[in-house]
Amino acid sequence: MSQTEELPAIPQPAAPARFEEATHAPSGSTQWWRRSVIYQIYPRSFRDTTGNGIGDLRGITTELHHIASLGVDAIWLSPFFASPQKDAGYDVSDYRAVDPLFGTLEDFDELIAEANRLEVKILVDIVPNHCSDQHALFREALASPAGSAARDMFIFRDGLGDGGQLPPNNWQSHFGGSAWTRVPEPDGTGGQYYLHLFDSSQPDFNWDNPAVGDEFASVLRFWLDRGAGGFRVDVAHALVKASGLPDWHGRADGADTPGYPFADAPMFGQPAVHEVFRRWRAICEEYPDERVLCAEANVHPIEAMADWVRPDEMHQSFNFPFLHTDWDAAALKAIITRSLKAFDAVGAPSTWVLSNHDVPRHATRLGAPTPALRPGDGLGPEDAQPDPVLGLARARAATLFMLGLPGGAYLYQGEELGLGDHTELPHEYRQDPTYARTDGERLGRDGCRVPLPWNDSTRSLGFSDADTGWLPQPGGWESLTRQAQESDPDSTLNLYRKALALRRTHDLGLGNLNWLEDTAGGQLLGFGNSGVLVLLNLGPTPVDVPAGEVLLASSATALGVAPAGTGSLVLNPDAALWLRPRTA
């Protein structure tokens, strides 16, 4: 495969187009994960079949054909393991069991069977940095004395100051407050502290202890043996902590820390963490069918993140800098170019993602008055509300643009329906621990986790037989149900279907990116990939479009007719276009 594809010359109304040298140079491999589209299912909000208001594995199995028919390669399933659900399942009490809320192991096996029938892979979300305080290992640690082998599975330390009144260091929890909690000794006196980078119900494992690594190797095999296609790896940057646990003056919760989280913080990106994933890669390679690992390695800069996808480590890493880039042509171009270079340097595909269960959905973010919202800080009823029309137009355009990029793409359930957050969720429904741990100062992530609208069969829009799911849906979702969008050719659902089909036909995931130099005064982003010209207008005015065959536009109103009766087309603001350029 050519790595520096030349697009045919494109006649331009203004300055002639010129393409920069290709910045993306994939290896020419056909490995599925180099060009995959992976769809995230957040089980508790996908589809409830028991009427308890919480989605379950059977709901996923029942509706999986809808997702497979979108044209995705794999599903990433957020945690469904046994859990007290203090952090929506990212607090695992048994890594080898399905939480009864979601079903049984047999339900998981049926889901895998259906996925195999539909030819989509199922990636399991593994949480190795911490477990639940209800996990048997942590309970044993609490019941054991300081210095015991049971405590050494976790990070216990004596406190500082008189009588150990002060925590062992200054680290803060991502969810607010100290990252240390003190436990009473059996005699009732104040005892040691344990580290939790997240909620106090999520004690961090001690990855310096080989027994922890052995336990997780066994957990991986448990799910691989059951047919998992691989793993999304939670907080893959934090497993190993710097020895001596030195103070750090950045904030682990990310607030007010520019560029958070730095790769050089003592709790992130320690060299030994890479040994863990080398072992995991080797385990995956013991199995047939290319089982994959995807890192949630949320470290800056992106060149540091690329360390997680070196050839003997993981396959993919989420591109959070891309997700967090504002609606700005120069900024987007810069991060895309930088991402491709960073991942090319280690021979890995870049990935692209716009939404997930931890950030405001892009249909909300891109219509919100504050251009950049931090993760964990969704909008609430007291905030200025987003413009839903603008948000949806930009979200559709951003997605079409993203799906034209070479590499792997991630989608979050409901974005194919154009859903935004529930930005007016009444506070009494909030369950994200961030909200309670910061006394409501940070709203948390509930707004992007609202149950999906399927159809008009029940009051919860087909999500459940219950009137409401675990979180209420916002008003206006009646017109956004999957059923309502099925037969509308201009619906967001059909835009996603067409884009994914064309992406596959043109094999854009394995292509090369060549920037279009004409930026219409800085408001247009354009690139060629595999004979397709991908254009995004981020500015306030329509821009001229090169002559060619329109393959797909982000909406029915994306294109206008150029003035002066030229008969050529213009791309309207907040719109994107895929075009096959006419050869000169």
Any idea which residues carry the catalytic annotation? 234, 286
In the structure encoding, which two tokens stand for residue 142, read together?
Answer: 């609490």
Q: Exposed (0-12), middle (13-18) or buried (19+): which is 231, by Cβ within 10 Å?
A: buried
Least separation, in Å, of the C-beta of 332 and ligand GLC?
Answer: 24
How many angstroms separate the CA atoms of 477 and 537, rounded? Answer: 28
Q: Which of 204, 234, 344, 415 binds ligand GLC (CB under 6 A)?
A: 234
**What is the nearest approach in angstroms of ligand GLC to the Cβ of residue 217?**
20
Q: Is 90 in the site for ligand GLC (CB under 6 A)?
A: yes
Q: In the numeric block, which tokens belong to residue 487?
A: 């037969």
CA 471 to chain centre: 21
87: contact with ligand GLC by CB under 6 A: yes
Q: Cβ closer to ligand GLC: 24 or 251?
A: 251
Assess 223 for contact with ligand GLC (CB under 6 A): no
Any contact of residue 235 with ligand GLC (CB under 6 A)?
yes
What x-and-dash track marks residues 32-71 binding ligand GLC by CB under 6 A? ----------------------------------------
Chain centroid to CA 34: how far?
A: 17
Number of residues near ligand GLC (by CB under 6 A) = 9
Taking the least distance from each CB to ligand GLC, the nearer of 63 and 446 is 446
Tell the residue number behind the tokens 């060549």, with chain if given.
Answer: 514
Look-up: residue for tokens 């999520």? Answer: 202
Closest CB to ligand GLC among residues 72, 353: 353
Identity at 172, one-letter amino acid code: Q
Residue list 495-534, contact with ligand GLC (CB under 6 A): none
**Given 127, 342, 508, 579, the residue binding ligand GLC (CB under 6 A):** 127
Alpha carbon 456 to chain centroid, angstroms:
29
Considering the complex, state which of residue 207 and residue 401 has its C-beta at the smaller distance from ligand GLC.
207
415 binds ligand GLC (CB under 6 A): no
445 CB burial (10 A radius; 0-12, 13-18, 19+): buried
- Smallest separation, CB 216 to ligand GLC (Å): 15
Q: How far is the CB of 181 from ligand GLC (least distance, A)?
A: 16
Nearer to ligand GLC, 396 or 449 (CB): 449
d(CA 160, CA 152): 19
Instruction: Using the minimum distance from each CB to ligand GLC, give the nearer residue, 125 or 518.
Output: 125
In the complex, what is the shortest distance from the CB of residue 223 to ligand GLC, in angstroms, rounded to a whole number? 17
Taking the least distance from each CB to ligand GLC, the nearer of 357 and 437 is 357
- CB-based contacts of 258-267 (< 8 A; 24+ apart in sequence): 259/300, 259/301, 260/300, 261/237, 261/298, 261/299, 261/300, 262/299, 262/300, 263/237, 263/299, 263/300, 263/301, 263/304, 263/305, 266/241, 266/242, 267/171, 267/197, 267/238, 267/241, 267/242
Using CB under 6 A as the binding rule, whether residue 198 contacts ligand GLC is answered as yes
Dist CA 577 CA 192 (whole Å): 59
Tell me the backbone φ, ψ of residue 522, rounded to 5 degrees: 100, 0
Q: Which residue(s) pair with 37 in the sheet?
A: 409
Report the alpha-carbon distance of residue 580 to residue 558 in Å, rounded: 16
The distance of closest approach from Cβ of residue 237 to ligand GLC in the complex, given in angstroms and rounded to an integer, is: 10
Q: How far is the CB of 378 from ligand GLC (least distance, A)?
A: 13
When binding is defined by CB under 6 A, the residue of 99, 358, 415, 544 that contacts ligand GLC is 358
How many CA atoms within 13 Å lie on the side-chain side of 134?
Answer: 14
Give the residue ranges of DSSP H helices in 374-472. 388-403, 433-437
**CA 464 to CA 455: how far, in whole Å?**
10
Sheet bearing 230-233, strands edge to edge: 316-317, 292-295, 230-233, 121-126, 74-77, 37-41, 408-412, 351-353
> Any alpha helices (H) in 268-313, and if so which ranges?
273-285, 302-305
- Tell which positions 312-351 bind ligand GLC, by CB under 6 A: none
In the bound complex, what is the minimum distance in angstroms from residue 169's beta carbon to ligand GLC? 20
Which residue number, 87 or 518, has a Cβ lying nearer to ligand GLC?
Answer: 87
Binding of residue 204 to ligand GLC (CB under 6 A) = no
| Joined tokens for residue 386 | 């987003």
Start-to-end CA span in the chain (Å) = 24
Minimum distance from residue 265 beta carbon to ligand GLC (Å): 15
Residue whose CB is nearest to ligand GLC in the complex, by number = 90
Task: Tell me whether residue 315 or residue 449 sits nearer to ligand GLC (CB atom).
Answer: 449
Task: Measure the CA–CA gap between 497 and 334, rounded to whole angstroms.
Answer: 28
Q: Is residue 253 within the footprint of ligand GLC (CB under 6 A)?
A: no
Tell me the closest approach of the beta carbon of residue 174 to ligand GLC, in angstroms.
Answer: 7
Nearer to ligand GLC, 442 or 482 (CB): 442
Q: Which of residues 280-309 bind ligand GLC (CB under 6 A)?
A: 296
Does residue 377 interact with ligand GLC by CB under 6 A?
no
Please report, as ranges, the residues that interact with ligand GLC according to CB under 6 A: 87, 90, 127, 198, 234-235, 296, 357-358
